[in-house]
Structure 1
């Protein structure tokens, strides 16, 4: 273990042997301090939406196919002009130093090892430059929590461009933080400095609660902000937190180069629908105008298959990867991605789908429960 400001961080570096990614949560809970684990795991209010995110995948079914005369399905794909070995990517989950001393740099190494796409949060534990360097040339996106201070926004965007990121994910669904009871019960404050805050000002985010961090975030966000960021960076801007077709079309009209369907992993508006339940209607409205990223509740290869078949082009993983990070560092991250990719390949074979394009052209069934 590594000690930072009195907070114990894992420094494990090892491959993981497990049967189900859900098993990793309990194992990680044993080594991540209570406050940090509560922040990573928790959702808002009574966590109905958090639970529903995973349950909703049961609302659609994959039809097994026989006599398909195929084998060895392939998971490589191309999205946003990027050639990837997997349709899986890392969601921009904040403060990964809560799970491991090397934080996002180890996550970047693990994601690069599987040929995936890494996304880093504004509130990451390591800097944009260090995270990019750890990926050793593998593609990365930077996620912007837009600040009320445009000098700070410009600083972050400048650093992201300098680091060579391939796109900007603009989070739209967190102008305030959801009512997260675990954080309140634990009196949680960030013990680990946030590198991107440290580089810009004297404050580094440590010793602050969630509400204090979000107090600096912009509450008023509109279509013109998408336009402004796209013009400033000349990079693709992906609108994250889209849960309705109307918002998807509004974002595209403002110049968004991608739509990111997500309810923030059940951490924001509790009582809202599961991300998977709204994905088909958003995909129908977008109609391939721009790529779609999807996250929230993904725990099985079949969930990945269903998300792709329902309209996603990339599927992002969050909590399971951070649990893998705590338990095994970069190799633990790699283990989680490889495990879910193996499950996906089994489902692809059994569904008669040779390629990711085949999966995306698969029609899911909807039988009554």
Structure 2
């Protein structure tokens, strides 16, 4: 009986083995009740080291938890007698026409969750009519990830290296692949103290395609600290201009948590501000991203679009972020869990679930369009 059960589990959880690491091969639509439930389901099939890397935050993970808790600091005011129905989630940002204001955050090493990694993520995001952002540390190449989107818009996120030949190589690849903007991450000049990775003695088992293309090293078998050792610890306003001049693409500065830094980035030439604390993976004890969003948006004052992430799990979170000044709302971990559980179709299912929740919130709040949501007033309660 035990042998039969073991064979049955292997059939249910289809796997590919790469360098001894078990990767999901599942390709199926998901029946989702809420995104929070996906974490436990994904934990059952992602190996311990990979799951710890994906799910973990820094130190005791207070900021990670606060990212989601902070949405309770604001409430949506229901509206009645609005004479409207069928809310519309279409939006235009950065000149791109999108079916939803929800986008894929740049998330590294998605091969830890699924054998097809970012290729399947790109397919699922495109099927949902959403915007995809791919990471420097992707498991699949910039070109392959872009091609999988089949013409759907994508951004490329740059972890700036100390080696400008490497930076330029990545930017050349991104531009050739047709990405629409460069996201420059500025809050990861050093790795946060991530205890799950230390406990698991985690090393990347899956090669990182962009590293493989550039050098003999491939990122496999390396620890987090070793990867970050090559990253630039000094990033300045001049780097924003240098990237913009080199690519002739909009540069969006990611990792902004204060009005001062937002204004400084815009002064340096940034065409977008990305409010994020890296999903609670960097400075533990720092504020939840939602708690700083409104102040940053007030300082930006619509001069450039604002992307927001960290802690998004419900349609109401998306609504509150848009009403607090965001133009796009990104999510990472729930999409990766959907990827592990259902491949491209699982990714699409995650977007459809969150977008469906958002439409319900829009109807009950009397907001027909995303522009209406942005004008909605929230009730702020201080406990």
Provide TM-score, normalisation by structure 2: 0.96
Equivalent in the alignment of 1:327:
341
2-structure distance, mates of 1:300, 1:78? 22
Matches within 5 A, 1:147-296: 147-296=161-310
Residue 182 of structure 1 aligns to a residue whose secondary structure is helix
Q: Does 1:58 align with 2:97?
A: no
1:255-302 residue CA offsets vs partner (Å, 9 max, x unmatched)? 000000000000000000000000000000000000000000000000
State how far apart, in whole Å, the 2-side matches of 1:22 and 1:108 are: 22
The match for 1:314 among 318, 328, 336 is 328
Unaligned runs of 5+ in 2: 1-14
Secondary structure at the residue paired with 1:61? strand
Quote the Cα distance in structure 2 between the aligned partners of 1:14 and 1:222.
Answer: 44
Give the whole-Å Cα distance in 2 for the aligned partners of 1:21 and 1:154.
37
Q: Give a deviation string over 1:183-223, Cα, whole Å, max 9, x none.
A: 00000000000000000000000000000000000000010
Residue number among 145, 148, 151 corresponding to 1:137 in the alignment:
151
Aligned-partner Cα distance in 1 for 2:182–2:231: 17
Q: Take 2:171 and 2:312, find their aligned partners in 1: how far apart are those partners? A: 29
Among 108, 112, 116, the residue aligned to 2:130: 116
Distance in 2 (CA, whole Å) between partners of 1:288 and 1:120 is 25
Aligned partners of 1:196, 1:36: CA distance in 2, in Å? 19
Q: How far is 1:368 from its partner?
A: 3.5
1:70 correspondence with 2:89: no
Specify the alignment match of 2:160 in structure 1: 146
Paired residues in the alignment total: 369
Of 97, 107, 114, the residue aligned with 1:83 is 97
